[in-house]
Copies of this chain bind each other. A is one copy, B any other.
Amino acid sequence: MSKRYTIRELAEEFDVTTRALRFYEEKGLLQPARSKQTRTYSAADRTRLKLILRGKRLGLTLEESSDIIRMYDPEAGNRQQLETLLSKIRDKRAQLREQQKDLELMLLDLRDAEERCLQALATEPKRANG
């Protein structure tokens, strides 16, 4: 019997509300068991939560994260299903690589912005107003 978590433990660890955890469950993203009416989360639930939150930081919707989570295990035995899955995985990877480009562009822009800002600070050293 591996480690199990209460709703509060998970909520505090990842700095989310218990409401959010119940919401994720309602959406099918988490599947805690019940020990006498109270939810009890498995290590797998904890991992899924991590993936959900990572997805959020990348701007994914819960449904997109849900899709990705399903991609992680080729449970689907059928060849047809496997190829569909493979295709989805590749699509998502391609999309993430596009996102990588956007990210680098924005980082470059901000690097320039920082530079210009430093310049402005250098040229106008210590007066109150220009």
A interface with B by C-beta (< 8 Å): 51, 54-60, 68, 71-74, 77-79, 82-83, 85-86, 89-90, 92-93, 96-100, 102-103, 105-107, 109-114, 116-121, 124, 126-130
How many identical chains are in the complex? 2
Given the interface pairs A103-B100, A105-B54, A120-B74, the reply to whether A79 lies near B110 with Cβ below 8 Å is: no
Tell me whether A113 and B71 are in contact (CB under 8 A). yes
Tell me whether B114 and A79 are in contact (CB under 8 A). no
Majority DSSP secondary structure for residues of A touching B: helix
Tell me whether B58 and A60 are in contact (CB under 8 A). no
Tell me whether A74 and B106 are in contact (CB under 8 A). no
With beta carbons under 8 angstroms apart, the residue of B77, B93, B118, B119 that contacts A124 is B77
